[in-house]
Structure 1
């Protein structure tokens, strides 16, 4: 055991965070801390780190063990570049290296006796330096920075010029390089793109220390953790397995508790009915029997009703009218900023009812595409056309569609003036805004609260084409599941940007990946994308397609990447058909070859070769097989090409 919390207690006024909570983390174990927003996950981390005092209980870190903490808000050294900031994580190695170099300079001037003593120190330092992989620390820093999505051109940027997300990535890289015995990571996948999240998963899976993670990324938790610590209504429970195993076990426990509760309620009602009937007889014996039953009822320990699994947030999305079949047509669209081209000459179509996820690395232009489609910014070249009766509902991750100087109530009433006071309050209550909370200023809200207001407006819009930019940001897992259900029930068309792979898997039936300045089309969910990524990227968006902006004189042949989505879909269907035919041909070849081997074996047996009729039959069968094999070999070569 490396970390344990015994009977910890914490409240903020009347708000209970945890009561008599206990859990432990074993050495090298990968565990998750889960719970709804506001349950107290970050508070527990702060209590472990001593940043927040507990009201009781104890936190125990194993003797001699080190702990590292990634909080949601970062403080970095002023004046350092990104690379210099990460080098501070290796200060011990750097200091050791300086000592080694210093001793090397001293050795030639020392007496024989002093030389022996100094060499012992030198050898000890070199041995420790090598054991700590000191000669590779610079490449280790570079590897971590690139894994977290930084380019070499970013290494020299000053940390005080970085965005909040970039600072978080720098802090995460610095923490990983210090390699403490246990890592506490609070939402480590925030601000990471899909490539960086995948890299972090692999890093943590191979990490030699323990890891304790707060995250709403279910795909990430399923891959990394082997234990889940849950905090719910002040109680802490531990479950073995990943997030999927936890969710299944929790549902099983809740179902059993609900069954026990309902059975007890049924028995209580039955006994109360019997008691009432006995009393109605109004006889001495029947009254005594009724009193006896009442005493038995009083001794029953009531089974607590399990809490509802449904969140307070209620989201229903439904278009007010149906659009035409052609929802969006994009033709030869290009966009860049300064000298950087984001995408160039891209064309695709979206049909009614499609649910499309746009994915790609940070800074590739995904959000820019959505802003162009919503006419927030203009494209450099190309055009797009909305289909007949298309009405857009836009969810902006930066919430530019909200007005900071308005109250939540006014934000809804100004956009939907036909709604009365009760209708507005009912809508906001569905998104967890009740009482005087509806009069809070938009500018004073947290990112998650602004997200809920934007979702409320989206629900009221009755749009038939939803364009969503990172809709799951700031949502807890329960709220994500509600949004997933709402989108899956939605009969309109959806185009969204997301880094949440689990969410994409649940809601997308098509994926557009923005890579190497173009879009690659995948007809399927995220699992299908992972299966086909390498093959389709090489076919439709090879890295050599990215050309310097000054090579205007170089002619580039028309790329398959610029085919319409319908053409790409047909090509992918042909490829699947070719592979199936190839597999079937190989199976037929194997069967005929095996049969020929059996015939050859039979022909060596006396009872066969001495029987002229049987011998003739087998000979003719083998000749027929050979003719079929010739045809199949030719067919196989054609399919293989």
Structure 2
């Protein structure tokens, strides 16, 4: 057991407008299983890179362990998996790798297949297994769930619970609850460490939020009283000074002397009052706000919007899954479930016209308007204003939604290619919320999205009940949102 100590850490990117971290101090035990949470753009991945020594910073980071980072970069995916893993963990024996893979429910033959033939989920699992075989290392795991289906998430969460000595960045609440024993949270003004899983942390967080909201009400009243008092003190001094120049005979020397004393006293009072105002304002350091979002779904004139009859997406001449049949009715929120590669995304692409090769029949009601959120964000570049114009949405509404999703005004001045992965995903969701549609088609919309925003989106959907068909592996989101689930089977 050893400690990782962070003292007075301050960091900003050279081209940035503000500090990401400012005089941050905390310490963590290298035996802990830490869940690392915080809003998008707060600096989670940046902090992992600071631990890895990638950037210069002010302050101190002291650690007696070597850090490894996941996802591990694989330069040549044509090589056999066993050769790649021997590079990741050169001291590990083959039997150790096979043992770890059995825990992760990966078949042994994966070791002797080219790495590129493994699914995204299998690649995630084998690299995690190899990295944990580096004895004495501390693992920095950055959002592993984005390539895992729901069953794989359960498997990896159970695997991580067997381990110790890692920081896990994830926004999946159930995944975190299954495997961490401490939470490292980036707040508005500091970083805190708490014992327990996500649910324990969130219960404490809500209590703290309730306390700060109550304090907020009291402090606003106190601050307003102080500000009025400061204004009265200043006006009182000004009136005394002005009296030197009134009509009739007056002792201007006496009044001037008295006025000077009052001005001095007034200035002293104002300084004390301003200091008190600032101190009270700083008490509201970690109050997180998430304003309610709105959406304006269109009502369709018929009960059924879309019907899939024995539909099979076809890729490279091969059937992707077994035939699928179901209808999407007004007000339904249908979750598509199945292993990675079972055809869920392909079906959504058929619905939106992104893909055409298929068997079976897709019947879309006349005049049905769709709003689509794709998995991929790589097309996002340029300014938000240009994106709003190209997307033919109201720019003011678009930016107002992003503000509610924790975008600072500084973000509006940046290019989208410089956004974090979660911020890019929020751009696509905000565009969809600006579009009036009969049917909202969302493909893994929550990838990289922070926990606060996930709950914010859940509340929106529960309130406005848009008709939806979506793919999402976040179990908590699915339980709260889906009215029905359609299951996919691989051929």
Q: TM-score, normalised by structure 2?
A: 0.79
Partner of 1:335: 313
Partner of 2:11: 11
Partner of 1:29: 32
Q: Determine if contact 1:425/1:434 at 8 Å carries over to the other structure.
A: no
SS in 1 for 2:145: coil
Alpha-carbon distance in 1 for matches of 2:408, 2:449: 15
Q: Which has the higher contact order (CA 8 A, sep 6+)?
A: 2
SS in 2 for 1:139: helix
Q: Determine if contact 1:76/1:171 at 8 Å carries over to the other structure.
A: no
Alpha-carbon distance in 2 for matches of 1:478, 1:461: 23
Deviation by residue 1:10-35 (Cα, 9 ceiling, x = unmatched): 21256323334333333542222222
Point out where structure 1 has 5 or more consecutive residues left out of the alignment: 95-133, 518-641
Residues 225, 447 of structure 1: alpha-carbon distance in 2 compared, 3 angstrom cutoff = closer
Partner of 1:550: none
Partner of 1:638: none
Point out the structure with max Rg over C-alpha: 1
Residues 28, 515 of structure 1: alpha-carbon distance in 2 compared, 3 angstrom cutoff = farther
Aligned partner (choices 172, 179, 197) of residue 242 of structure 1: 197
Aligned partner (choices 390, 400, 413) of residue 389 of structure 2: 413
Aligned partner (choices 45, 48, 54) of residue 45 of structure 1: 48
Partner of 1:175: 131
Partner of 2:214: 259
Q: Determine if contact 2:307/2:328 at 8 Å carries over to the other structure.
A: yes
How far did residue 488 of structure 1 move?
1.8
Deviates more, 1:17-26 or 1:353-362: 17-26
Aligned partner (choices 124, 139, 147) of residue 98 of structure 2: 139
How far did residue 258 of structure 1 move?
3.4
Aligned partner (choices 456, 481, 487) of residue 430 of structure 2: 456
How far did residue 274 of structure 1 move?
7.9
Deviation by residue 1:507-546 (Cα, 9 ceiling, x = unmatched): 22222222355xxxxxxxxxxxxxxxxxxxxxxxxxxxxx
How far did residue 272 of structure 1 move?
6.9
Q: Determine if contact 2:380/2:424 at 8 Å carries over to the other structure.
A: no
Residues 460, 48 of structure 1: alpha-carbon distance in 2 compared, 3 angstrom cutoff = closer
Partner of 1:528: none
Alignment of 1:112-123 (within 5 A): none
Q: Determine if contact 2:311/2:360 at 8 Å carries over to the other structure.
A: yes
Compare the two structures and name the one with the higher helix fraction. 1
SS in 1 for 2:342: coil
SS in 1 for 2:347: helix
SS in 1 for 2:207: helix
Alpha-carbon distance in 2 for matches of 1:457, 1:205: 38
Q: Determine if contact 2:189/2:286 at 8 Å carries over to the other structure.
A: no
Alpha-carbon distance in 2 for matches of 1:466, 1:21: 42
How far did residue 160 of structure 1 move?
7.0
Deviation by residue 1:462-517 (Cα, 9 ceiling, x = unmatched): 11211110101132222222222222223321110012122212222222222355
Q: Determine if contact 1:73/1:168 at 8 Å carries over to the other structure.
A: no
How far did residue 241 of structure 1 move?
1.8
Q: Determine if contact 1:9/1:20 at 8 Å carries over to the other structure.
A: yes
Point out where structure 2 has 5 or more consecutive residues left out of the alignment: 241-257
SS in 2 for 1:178: coil
How far did residue 357 of structure 1 move?
1.4
Q: Determine if contact 2:290/2:404 at 8 Å carries over to the other structure.
A: no
How far did residue 370 of structure 1 move?
0.9
Partner of 1:592: none
Aligned residue-pair number: 459
